[in-house]
Amino acid sequence: MKIDFLVKNCSQLITLFGDSPRRGEDMKDLKIIKDGFIGSYGGKIVFIGNEDMLKDYEIDENAKIIDATGKVCMPGLVDSHTHLPFGGDRSEEFKMKLDGVPYMELQKRGMGIKSTVRATREIPLSELIKISQKRLDESVKGGATTIEAKSGYGLDLETEIKQLEAIKTLNELHPLDIIPTYLGGHDVPPDTGKEEYLEKLINEFIPEIKKRNLAKFFDAFIEDGVYNREETEKMLKAAKENGFELKLHADEFTNLGGAELAAEYGARSAEHLVRISKTGIEALSKSGTAAVILPGVYFFLREDKKPPVREMIERGVIVALGSDYNPGSSHINNMLFIMKLAVFLEGFSIEEAITSATINAAYAIGMDKEVGSLVPGKKMDLIIFDTDSYINIFYEPSKNYLKYVIKEGEIILDGCELIY
């Protein structure tokens, strides 16, 4: 068997080989190969092991070879929750939040999501693609090789399609894999009543977006002042009947039983979960629904209340990480930083943070059969750090050890330089 891309002599080759997703104690088992070698052909992993196991493989004469002596290699990071394509700027609102105005109060004043809806409706598709491509480049610099991207800043059919079309085009232009989510239930439109919008969403928007094959997932926001349980359930039922997989923004500011609802409907993930109840944790622990934790949000909003991650992990919930990159509550699209926040703010162990940002994050967006661990047959998505221990990545949190980002056997970041 041939190899056209080889990384050799990795001091620590973190593979995360084994079951997907990881729960409980298994989240700490990174399956590390010391002095490891990993090779790919045509963008797919064909070999992983030590040098003496390479004898049955043919190294192509034009193969790219990286000597990773003294370096840590691990799967490319997966950002399982972003709001990538949006227009506008909310820096003024950010300043107001720092001065003590609560997030939901800004919503009532017509700011928050509603201000981004206005800006996203106005921005031309070409400009939306252009600015989103720059954001993707920043994601690469933060170690991401796969991301999820939500619409939800249109709240009308035309703009939601525009956002999803931007994601589709970016998937063709940019090396990162982008998994599209239709966030039709993000908020109530500023120019339409809730009842009227729900009727259109269920009977027109969901079927039309599915017919155009623009999104894999449907998502909604169950929250006081947004959508209650009954309204959310109507959306989830309609989306499921139309063939969408499900996600749910749940239990962020108030507990309305969002985690339980996500588990009941077989959602791939429930996201935020700052105020999840013990009943919600129990429901998730017995389900295949991942809990997507977003430490960038309570860092950015300076919130003291945080999700009960330790209890979730100990009860066997599938725990994943995401950035929640958006203009209002987490203007952060760097998964390396998110992993560090998870350790320093939320009490993840280092190993749990790595697992949550790789194989479990991949599971949370339905990509764990393709990415998230280093296994023959999966994509050669790899990041390499210029240090000999993964502990140092966290021990020196202000230092950027990232040296290479490799996507499907192609180097797309070398040092600070994007080269795709």
Residues 207 and 62 in one domain: no
What is the maximum alpha-carbon separation in the chain?
67
Which residue range forms the structural domain that includes residue 55? 2-76+372-418
pLDDT at 179: 98
Of the candidates 15, 30, 14, 12, which has an alpha carbon nearest to the alpha carbon of residue 71? Answer: 12
Task: Give pTM, 2 decimals.
Answer: 0.97
Position 324: which residue type?
Answer: D
Report the CATH number that the domain containing residue 303 is assigned in CATH: 3.20.20.140
Residues 312 and 202 in one domain: yes
User: Where are the extended beta strands (E) located within 128-187?
Assistant: 144-150, 177-185
Tracing tokens 């002042």 back to the chain, one arrives at 225
- Do 264 and 132 sit in the same domain of this protein? yes
CA proximity to 294, closest of 261, 256, 260, 247: 247
Residue ending a domain, choose from 364, 389, 408: 364
410 and 273 inside one domain: no
For residues 275 and 151, membership in a common domain is answered with yes
Q: What is the pLDDT along the chain (420 residues), one digit of tens a residue?
A: 899 999 999 999 999 999 999 999 999 999 999 999 999 999 999 999 999 999 999 999 999 999 999 999 999 999 999 999 999 999 988 888 888 888 778 877 878 788 899 999 999 999 999 999 999 999 999 999 999 999 999 999 999 999 999 999 999 999 999 999 999 999 999 889 999 999 999 999 999 999 999 999 999 999 998 999 999 999 999 999 999 999 999 999 999 999 999 999 999 999 999 999 999 999 999 999 999 999 999 999 888 999 999 999 999 999 999 999 999 999 999 999 999 999 999 999 999 999 999 999 999 999 999 999 999 999 999 999 999 999 999 999 999 999 999 999 999 999 989 998
Q: Is 376 exposed, middle or buried (0-12, 13-18, 19+ CB in 10 A)?
A: middle
The structural domain count of the chain equals 2
What span, in angstroms and rounded, lies between the C-alpha atoms of 8 and 69? 7
Question: What 3-state class would DSSP assign to 56?
Answer: helix
Residues 245 and 338 in one domain: yes
> Which residue intervals of 201-331 are DSSP H helices?
206-211, 229-241, 258-264, 278-285, 295-300, 309-314
Q: Could you tell me if 164 and 214 are in contact, meaning their C-beta atoms sit under 8 angstroms apart? A: yes
215 and 298 both lie in a single domain: yes
Indicate if 385 and 244 belong to the same structural domain: no
302 and 319 part of one domain: yes
What Cα–Cα distance (Å) separates residue 125 from each residue in 120, 141, 163? 9, 25, 8
Q: From CA 70, how far away is CA 22, in angstroms rounded?
A: 28
Same domain, 64 and 172: no
Pull the structure tokens for residue 211. 């017919």
CATH of the domain at 381: 2.30.40.10
Residues 26 and 101 in one domain: no
Name, in order, each residue with C-beta under 8 angstroms of 274's C-beta and a sequence gap of 6 or more.
251, 252, 253, 298, 303, 305, 306, 307
My answer on whether 234 and 119 are in the same domain is: yes
Residues constituting the chain? 420
Query: End of a domain among 364, 385, 409?
Result: 364
Residue at which a domain ends, from 344, 364, 384: 364
